[in-house]
Copies of this chain bind each other. A is one copy, B any other.
Amino acid sequence: MQLPSKLIENAVQEISKLPGIGKKTALRLALHLLRQDSKQTQSLADALRAMREQVRYCKTCYSVSDDDICHICRSEKRDKSLLCIVEDIRDLLAIENTNQYNGLYHVLGGVISPIDGIGPEDLNIDALLSRVKESEVVEVIIALNATMEGDTTAFYLTKKLRESKLKVSAIARGVPIGSELEFTDEVTLGRSITKRISFE
């Protein structure tokens, strides 16, 4: 597709570098911006630039933050004996939204993935290990996705964390609330039987 304007072509090229956005969607977005007031494009460009240049990461948990220490790490109300390990801040937000967890977090910034060339040294794992040594943390909850990479990372972390004599757990896997057994995939259903929970 040859575009009639180099400026649009350039914008489409840049937009389509975003994940999940192809050339067609990028063109639709570019044309949308052209139809809107130019202020909208300006504030979009400004917001993106400001975010990328000024955002900081919490020095304790590596979540994003506008300050050196994020509001969760600073809070007096959180249970400092619990530490939940997540891949990125989307997972952190998802857990926060449940209102069921009141401990602290540690954001890894990814998972171990040899195919993508991501090893333990590329993640915030060293920081995690020295963090738990000096802290009041008693239990570490691993909340990674149940993918090959997530499981590999969980296995690696468990080995490392057990050296520090910490209790290590993982979030429960099983049949989601509200879904029917009949339509649950075999792996989940199988695991929900082998890892069944006893009534106490």
Interface residues of A (CB under 8 A from B): 1-8, 10-11, 13-15, 17-21, 25, 27-35, 38, 40-55, 63-66, 70-72, 88-90, 92-93, 96-97, 109
Among the listed B18, B52, B66, B92, which residue makes an inter-chain contact with A38, where contact means beta carbons less than 8 Å apart? Answer: B52
B residues less than 8 Å from A48 (CB atoms): 11, 14-15, 30, 33, 41, 44-45
Contact B4–A47 (Cβ < 8 Å) = no
Q: How many copies does the complex hold?
A: 2
Contact B5–A18 (Cβ < 8 Å) = no
Among the listed B7, B20, B64, which residue makes an inter-chain contact with A4, where contact means beta carbons less than 8 Å apart? Answer: B64
- Chain A binding surface SS class: helix
Contact A10–B51 (Cβ < 8 Å) = yes
Given contacts A4-B72, A19-B29, A89-B4, contact A10 B50 (CB under 8 A): yes
Among the listed B19, B31, B97, which residue makes an inter-chain contact with A89, where contact means beta carbons less than 8 Å apart? Answer: B31
Nearest chain B residue, comparing its CB with the CB of A3: B93
Contact A7–B51 (Cβ < 8 Å) = yes
Given contacts A10-B47, A14-B44, A89-B4, contact A52 B33 (CB under 8 A): yes
In whole angstroms, how far apart are the Cα atoms of A66 and B109 in the complex?
A: 42
Nearest chain B residue, comparing its CB with the CB of A88: B31
B residues less than 8 Å from A17 (CB atoms): 40, 44
B residues less than 8 Å from A1 (CB atoms): 93, 97
B residues less than 8 Å from A7 (CB atoms): 47, 50-51, 54-55, 66
B residues less than 8 Å from A19 (CB atoms): 28-29, 32
Q: Which 5 A-B pairs rank lowest in CB-CB distance, beginning with the nearest?
A: A41-B52, A45-B45, A11-B51, A14-B47, A14-B44
